[in-house]
Copies of this chain bind each other. A is one copy, B any other.
Amino acid sequence: MSVTAAQGFTAAGIAAGIKAPLPNGSGGNPDLALVVNNGPRLAAAGVFTANRVKAAPVVWSEQVLKGGRVSAVILNSGGANACTGPLGFQDTHATAEKVAEVLDGHSAGEVAVASTGLIGIRLPMDKLLPGVEKAAAELTEHGGEKAAIAIKTTDSVHKTAQVTVDGWTVGGMAKGAGMLAPGLATMLVVLTTDADLPSADLDTALRAATRTTFDRVDSDGCMSTNDTVLLLASGASGVVPDKDAFAEAVRTVCDDLARQLIGDAEGASKDIRIEVINAAGEDDAVEVGRSIARNNLLKCALHGEDPNWGRVLSAIGTTSAVFEPDRLNVAINDVWVCRNGSVGEDRELVDMRYREVRITADLAAGTESAVIWSNDLTADYVHENSAYSS
């Protein structure tokens, strides 16, 4: 159901020709999505990449979101429009103007833009702008799936989620398969809701949700220039929800989409759930989790179904978290292979056959915890990212 699960939204996904046409001449892959908020409310919040090298659409949309209102989001795959200079920014601006022009009564200053694809190439505006007209003509209340399909890059499947509570709904779509690391995993995400809330409440809920979901997905340690997560509210349900219930619904949808991103990461054969427990602080737990998530040697070992806990300890040892080396405990798939910084239970007891691998790192230094999701490192990942530019 995606971005049209909530009332008050229409969407479309079309092939504008930004991506290369398919060899069979069938017109090309979908590459342009349009999501429109038909109100009555146009409240919105957004979270963007922490990368200091930001794509033009990120610079544009950050500015749009400062107004707290978004009437439409236009998203393209097939090109990131990053590192494209002032002309690239003009392309983003022209895209927003085009959306405002084809949708009666819209203002470009309330149109968010998101792009994904190769860095350092200009977008083919001669294809993109006519595509906007085509997308506008195909807007429907059932267009959410097509929009989710149009933002895919190396994703093998499109990703959607939704939660309905007491007469209001939060739904959404996501793309992302590589360059997945925090400061948002590399992703474009659009969430919509028909709950009746102002942008300040959306912002609070969205920041709280992304902090413990998308921001704790670290597939390959590479932070994108284009990460964008938007939450749009139409107010069409007429319901003003309880703030905690709303925050929980947004978190649930974000968590669902984040797990789908990890499950479809480039070349991955394992989804790795890293839980750091008994940390002195949450920041310590996150730092240790990320260090484990980014250890290439460990990621290779897990790919080979080798419960190599020594590589977990060597990763923990590079952090500034509070711990004593001889008090560290590590479990892999619930077998405590390391106790007190040394050999624990027999590693032969660890069953590594399944896609999900659970690592528990006990810092024995406090009561805080955090979960980071990651993937293994595989020859397929190397192949996908070396065989062609992406």
Interface residues of A (CB under 8 A from B): 50-54, 80, 82-85, 88, 118-122, 178-179, 183, 220-225, 294-297, 300-304, 306, 308-311, 313-319, 323, 325-326, 328, 338, 340-343, 377-379, 381-389
Q: Are A314 and B386 interface neighbours, CB within 8 A? A: no
The answer to whether A318 and B183 touch across the interface, beta carbons within 8 angstroms, is yes
Inter-subunit contact A222/B303 (CB<8 Å):
no
Partner of A222 from the list B50, B178, B295, B328 (CB cut-off 8 Å) is B295
Given contacts A300-B386, A379-B382, contact A341 B53 (CB under 8 A): yes
Q: Which residues of B contact A119 (CB under 8 A)?
A: 308, 310-311, 313-314
**Residues in B neighbouring A338, C-beta threshold 8 A:** 83, 120
- Ranked 9 nearest A-B pairs via Cβ: A119-B310, A304-B386, A53-B317, A85-B342, A300-B385, A379-B379, A51-B317, A120-B310, A300-B386
Q: 25 A-B pairs, CB-CB below 8 angstroms? A: A50-B318, A51-B318, A53-B317, A54-B325, A82-B314, A83-B309, A119-B310, A119-B311, A120-B309, A121-B343, A178-B297, A179-B314, A221-B294, A221-B295, A222-B296, A224-B314, A225-B310, A225-B317, A301-B386, A302-B386, A304-B385, A304-B386, A306-B388, A377-B382, A382-B382
A304 and B387 contact, CB distance less than 8 A: yes
Residues in B neighbouring A118, C-beta threshold 8 A:
310
Contact between A222 and B314, CB atoms less than 8 A apart: yes
Cβ contact within 8 Å between B342 and A52 = no
Q: How many copies does the complex hold?
A: 2
B residues in contact with A388, CB < 8 Å: 304, 306
Contact in complex: B314, A53 (CB < 8 Å): yes
A83 close to B225 (CB less than 8 A): no
Q: Compute how far the CA of A314 lies from the CA of B222 in the bound complex, rounded to whole angstroms.
A: 8
Nearest B residue to A300, CB-CB: B385
Q: A381–B316 Cα gap in the complex (Å)?
A: 22
- Give the distance in Å from the alpha carbon of A178 to the alpha carbon of B88 in the complex: 41
Indicate if the CB atoms of B313 and A83 lie closer than 8 Å.
Answer: yes
Q: How far is the CA of A319 from the CA of B222 in the complex (A)?
A: 12
Bound-complex Cα distance A85 to B328 (A): 11
| Neighbouring B residues of A178 by C-beta, 8 Å | 297
CB atoms of B223 and A341 under 8 A apart? no
Flag if A222 contacts B297 (CB, 8 Å).
yes
Most chain B CB within 10 A, of A295, A313, A315, A385, is at A385
Please, how many angstroms separate the alpha-carbon atoms of A61 and B387 in the complex? 46
B297 touches A220 (CB 8 A): yes
Q: Are A297 and B379 in contact (CB under 8 A)?
A: no
Chain B residues with CB under 8 A of A389: 301, 306, 308
**Would A85 and B343 be within 8 Å (CB), given that A294-B221, A314-B53 are in contact?**
yes
Q: Which residue of B lies closest to A319 (CB)?
A: B52
Q: Hey, which chain B residues are within 8 Å of A84, CB to CB? A: 342-343
Partner of A314, one of B121, B223, B323, B381: B223
Known: A317-B225, A382-B379, A386-B303. A341 touches B83 (CB 8 A): yes
Task: Check A297/B383 contact, CB under 8 A, given A51-B317, A318-B183, A338-B83.
Answer: no
Complex interface: chain B residues within 8 A of A318 (CB): 50-52, 183, 223
Chain B residues positioned under 8 Å from A53 (CB to CB) = 313-314, 316-317, 325, 328, 341
Q: With a CB–CB cut-off of 8 A, which chain B residues contact A300?
A: 381-382, 384-386
A326–B85 Cα distance when bound, in Å, is 7
* A220 (CB) vs chain B CBs: closest residue: B296
Contacts of A342 in B (CB 8 A): 83-85, 88, 120
A221 to chain B: which residues have CB within 8 Å? Answer: 294-296
Q: How far is the CA of A382 from the CA of B304 in the complex (A)?
A: 9
Write out the residue numbers on chain B whose beta carbons fall within 8 Å of the beta carbon of A377: 296, 382, 386
